[in-house]
Amino acid sequence: METVRLSPYNFTFLRPKRLELAPSTFNGTPSNAQKRERTIKTFTVASLQVPVSPQHLQLPRLKVSPDSLQFPPGYLGAAVPERVVLDDGEGDNMSDAMGYLTKIITSEVYKVAITSPLQLAPKLSERLGVAVWLKREDLQPVFSFKLRGAYNMMAKIPEEQLKNGVICSSAGNHAQGVALAAKELGCSAVIAMPVTTPEIKWRSVERLGATVVLVGDSYDEAQTYAKKRSKEENRTFIPPFDHPDIIAGQGTVGMEIVSQMKQEGPLHAIFVPVGGGGLIAGIAAYVKRFCPEVKIIGVEPSDANAMALSLHHGQRVILDQVGGFADGVAVKEVGEEPFRICKELVDGVVLVSRDAICASIKDMFEEKRSILEPAGALSLAGAEAYCKYYGLKGENVVAITSGANMNFDKLRVVTELANVGRQQEAVLATILPEEPGSFKRFCELVGPMNITEFKYRCNSDKKAIVLYSVGIHTVSELEEMLERMKSSQLETYNLTKSDLVKDHLRYLMGGRLYVQNEVLCRFVLPERPGTLMKFLNAFSPRWNISLFHYRGEGETGANVLVGIQIPRREMDEFRDLANNLGYDYAVVNNDNDFQLLMH
């Protein structure tokens, strides 16, 4: 089938402005006005009277930063201590687990999906003292669980309506699930994907027989196009997670786990990757009905924690930015129906770092010789962190390996960070005097530890900075080396947790310089032709670009470190231009690691 690149019809995308409310001014508690009786209300808009039912009235969504809620690795946060089944006044609460139980049991997913195996991870289990079971959804025909929900919903569409075809918006696994379901059901499928989607992904969808339309720079723009076209062509829009039939289809994963674990003994917890929330909602709806004692624990990247923040605030929130490394779960807002289920049935959320995800990808390769995508390794990283944090021993835990659709290019990043995430490598900086013999003395102090990376350039000053990485086996081993450095009056810094160092500064050593009026920024630029020129046209030749380091991750966004010489009086103008570009960015001028290594 054809692949089309185009701008969405001939209309301008309008991103509705959402009122930003500080947590101190809105905490999810309804005001007196919001507690009024449920009746049909009428609003006057531009002299037109429009009847609006109460269920369609929505308060402005709280917009928050991922950094506003962070937990120690493995800590079970965002737990809901009191679960009260909400009554919407109509006597039919779809988040009731029994309501979903019937939907899950009668699901027709097995016409396209397999009953994925539940396999023990012996090496990881031995290391943790816990039996870690892997629910291998990465072995599905499209290498992801997403085909379950897509097929379940599409199989329920009346035949006459199905003849008109289906449409969805997705940058990856959901697209392949819809395409395969459409092929099985014999209907046409249109998949709207952002133009930044890697070719390997849209080619995979195309090979399944769907028509791929590459449109817009972001998922939101692709979704707007898909919904508009669905109305114009009377195609059924297939959402990625926010629909009861999608949730029920994903819930079959939980049904299989309950059956498969009967022979293995009591189950302590199931760790589930969370994006929009469809998978964890479906699993919780089934498992909590049969095994209420089993913990259902969501796992999110620390920079894409929309569910944790929503549970924390007691309402769905919107992230002001979202990390894209685990692109399969990189959503700014969880689904309405998944959230209603999760706030009643989920036990909490564990947050993990990018390094920990990379370490779990390596763990999975060493266990099964399989390579997971970052979102697919998310639950494994969460399970390991949780077991370590709480000292769990002798229990059974299940981690869902949810997908294996990863660009090969991204493996470079994974291999660089895996040992750091496993705490087997540390990134350090030591200040040395520029004098004969100092380098030899430094190496003697490192001692028997293996140096895995070393960056040094002679400096005209009396002191030089050495940036290096060492392999470590135990925490005490690293502490002893740092003490040797301290005793020899060699100031040493542990930079292992600094993403700025690992992504950029380690490659810029030797370029230390003070640049007047330099503003340091991190931008995420879409991976598409013309993006760099669009970026440069916004700022150059208005201001001089003093530093530029590109960090590709083999996915939809390139991580770029940029230095621009901007007088302080012109900063407001710069921010306006940067905001109008529409790319995620952050000013990092005051970063201590940059000051240490580059000034």
Q: Are residues 172 and 261 in the same domain?
A: no
Q: Are residues 441 and 460 in the same domain?
A: yes
Q: Which residues are tagged catalytic?
A: 146, 402
**Rounded distance, CA 337 to CA 401, Å?**
23
CA distances from 133 to 296, 381, 597 (A): 15, 13, 43
Average pLDDT over residues 540-550: 84
Sequence letter at residue 590: N
Give the 3-state secondary structure of residue 150.
helix
Q: Are residues 437 and 318 in the same domain?
A: no
Residues with Cβ within 8 Å of residue 65, at least 6 apart in sequence = 319, 320, 321
List the Cα angle 280/251/121 in 5-degree steps: 70
CB 525 within 8 A of CB 535: yes
Domain assignment of residue 351, yes or no: yes
| DSSP bridge pairs for 144 | 403
**Rounded distance, CA 350 to CA 289, Å?**
23
Q: DSSP for 365-387?
A: HHHHS----HHHHHHHHHHHHHH
Domain assignment of residue 50, yes or no: no
**Rounded distance, CA 320 to CA 173, Å?**
24
Q: Of the given ranges (6-15, 123-132, 290-299, 585-594), which has the lowest mean pLDDT?
A: 6-15
The CATH number given to whatever domain includes residue 507 is 3.40.1020.10
Domain assignment of residue 40, yes or no: no
pLDDT range class, residue 552, cuts 50, 70, 90: low
* Among candidate residues 400, 391, 141, the one with its CA nearest the CA of residue 287: 400
Upstream peptide bond of 73 is cis (omega within 30 degrees of 0): no
Give the 3-state secondary structure of residue 304.
coil
Domain assignment of residue 52, yes or no: no
* Residue 452, both tokens: 């895995």
The count of domains in the chain is 3
Beta strands in 243-303 (DSSP E): 269-273, 295-301
Q: Are residues 467 and 388 in the same domain?
A: no
Sequence letter at residue 516: Q
Average pLDDT over residues 340-349: 93
Domain assignment of residue 191, yes or no: yes
CB 8 within 8 A of CB 213: no
Sequence letter at residue 342: C
The CATH number given to whatever domain includes residue 348 is 3.40.50.1100
Is the pLDDT confidence value at 48 over 50? no
Domain assignment of residue 10, yes or no: no
**Rounded distance, CA 563 to CA 561, Å?**
7
- Model confidence, pTM: 0.75
* Among candidate residues 60, 54, 22, the one with its CA nearest the CA of residue 35: 54
Q: Are residues 436 and 476 in the same domain?
A: yes
Beta strands in 368-462 (DSSP E): 396-401, 425-433, 450-455
Q: Are residues 134 and 240 in the same domain?
A: no
Q: Are residues 446 and 575 in the same domain?
A: yes
Q: Please, how many CA atoms are within 13 Å of residue 366, restricted to the half-sphere of its CB?
A: 12
Domain span holding position 99 = 63-84+92-105+116-140+248-417
If phi > 0 it is left, if psi is from -120 to 50 it is alpha, else beta; for residue 262 that is: alpha
Of 417, 437, 464, which residue sits at a domain end? 417
pLDDT range class, residue 21, cuts 50, 70, 90: very low
Give the 3-state secondary structure of residue 168.
strand
Q: Please, how many CA atoms are within 13 Å of residue 232, restricted to the half-sphere of its CB?
A: 8
CB 52 within 8 A of CB 46: no
Of 383, 417, 451, which residue sits at a domain end? 417
**Rounded distance, CA 304 to CA 274, Å?**
9
* Residue 309, both tokens: 């923040």
Q: Are residues 183 and 282 in the same domain?
A: no
Q: Are residues 160 and 207 in the same domain?
A: yes
- No. of H helices and E strands in the chain? 20, 23
Domain assignment of residue 553, yes or no: yes
Q: How far is CA 169 from the centre of its chain?
A: 18
Of 417, 436, 455, which residue sits at a domain end? 417
Give the model's pLDDT for residue 37: 27
Is the pLDDT confidence value at 76 over 60? yes
CB 270 within 8 A of CB 400: yes
Average pLDDT over residues 315-335: 88
Q: Are residues 255 and 324 in the same domain?
A: yes
Give the model's pLDDT for residue 27: 35
Q: Are residues 378 and 289 in the same domain?
A: yes
Q: Of 87-96, 215-224, 414-423, 483-492, where does the model show the most confidence?
A: 483-492
Beta strands in 53-165 (DSSP E): 62-64, 118-120, 131-136
Give the 3-state secondary structure of residue 32.
coil
Give the model's pLDDT for residue 211: 93
Q: Are residues 127 and 195 in the same domain?
A: no
Give the model's pLDDT for residue 230: 93
Q: Of the given ranges (62-71, 83-92, 329-338, 411-420), which has the lowest mean pLDDT?
A: 83-92
Domain assignment of residue 2, yes or no: no
